[in-house]
Amino acid sequence: MDFGVVLQTNPPAARTVQLAKLAEAHGFTHAWTFDSHLLWQEPYVIHSAILAETRRIMVGPFVTNPATRDWTVTASVFATLNEMYGNRTICGIGRGDSAVRVTNGKPTTLRELRESVHVIRELANSRSVEHNGATLQFPWSRGSELDVWVAAYGPLALKLTGEVGDGFILQLADVDIAEWMIKTVKDAAAAAGRDPESIAFCVAAPMYIGTDRAHMREQCRWFGGMVGNHVADIVTKYGPDGDVPRALTDYIAGRTGYDYNSHGRAENDHVDFVPDEIVERFCILGSAEEHIAKLERLREIGVTQFAGYLQHDSKEETMRVYGETVIPALSEHLTATA
């Protein structure tokens, strides 16, 4: 299992770079950042600085979208970074959430998402692509490599992911829900003639090492609110009795609204509708042993990367314990069972 960190690009940018460097030192393989250009600083500028000051860690957005950035520009950014620093970039992409909603926009259609994945991947892998009636290719790009991972929740988005994604991003760590969604993606991949095992499966959620359960839950309750935005869209489309597990949909019954100015922040003051049980199920909290136990269960259902959100007050300590205890324990288990 690989391990990533998910960072917000809050000023000063040097702090984000510092955390990414620390993540690499502790054995994390990926440094992801939010991509919402009004709420936080421009991520790709900071990605360049991270890549310049690290040697191994992979860097990418978690997640970008096809609406706020021209697809060819996005591809050019990745191909340029790969030329500058080696093939150390990765693209997480979804239909769009905070980046589009703060401008009163809407998430893109699944058709647009599908087309954007194809265009970005082909161009950023130094290949030609048909787009808007033209054949496009970067004449300066040679040997660039980029995987595109799709973030999804709903049945049709999961189907799309299985059909076109190099990886699947699921932003919650509930084992039962993750198992259902991974199976849905794998079934779609098999139906499309793809090898389901060729797809990377990334579960992302707040990770907090500590002993004060109430404090940890309050620091991570924002995550249930963020996930609730996507769930609300699914319930609107499919109804509360659709194909999505009830464990995912029931808790948003008390949701009355959402202020994107507090998106992804521990001090979010409008997530009271998120119960303690959901915080515990969606996140990974507690001792190193508790983290290891839940990660073992996620690995057993096919998760290939865990990406931990660090939007709380114990970033360095959590990464330290992961580097010293959690990551080695998962690596030793894999060695022992190989």
Q: What is the pLDDT of residues 308-335, one digit of tens each?
A: 999 999 999 999 999 999 999 998 765 5
Q: Flag whether pLDDT at 51 surpasses 90.
A: yes
Name the maximum alpha-carbon separation found in the chain: 58
When the pLDDT of each residue in the chain is averaged and rounded to a whole number, the result is: 90
Lowest mean pLDDT among 27-41, 48-62, 94-108, 137-151: 94-108
Q: What is the pLDDT of residues 285-316, one digit of tens each?
A: 999 999 999 999 999 999 999 999 999 999 99
Give the mean model confidence (pLDDT) for residues 141-166.
Answer: 96
Grade residue 188 by pLDDT with cuts at 50, 70 and 90. Answer: very high
Contacts of 304 (CB under 8 A, 6+ apart): 1, 2, 200, 201, 202
DSSP, collapsed to helix, strand or coil, labels residue 63 as coil
Grade residue 245 by pLDDT with cuts at 50, 70 and 90. Answer: low
HSE-CB for 252 with a 13 A CA cutoff: 23
DSSP, collapsed to helix, strand or coil, labels residue 10 as coil
Element (H, E) at 173: none
pLDDT at position 38 is 86
Give the mean model confidence (pLDDT) for residues 191-195.
Answer: 98
In this structure, is the dihedral angle defined by the CA atoms of residues 93, 85, 36 and 32, taken in order, positive or negative? positive
Element (H, E) at 88: none
Are 255 and 221 in contact, with CB atoms under 8 Å apart?
A: no
DSSP, collapsed to helix, strand or coil, labels residue 190 as helix
The model's pTM is 0.89
Looking at the chain, the whole-number percentage of residues with pLDDT higher than 90 is: 74
pLDDT at position 227 is 82
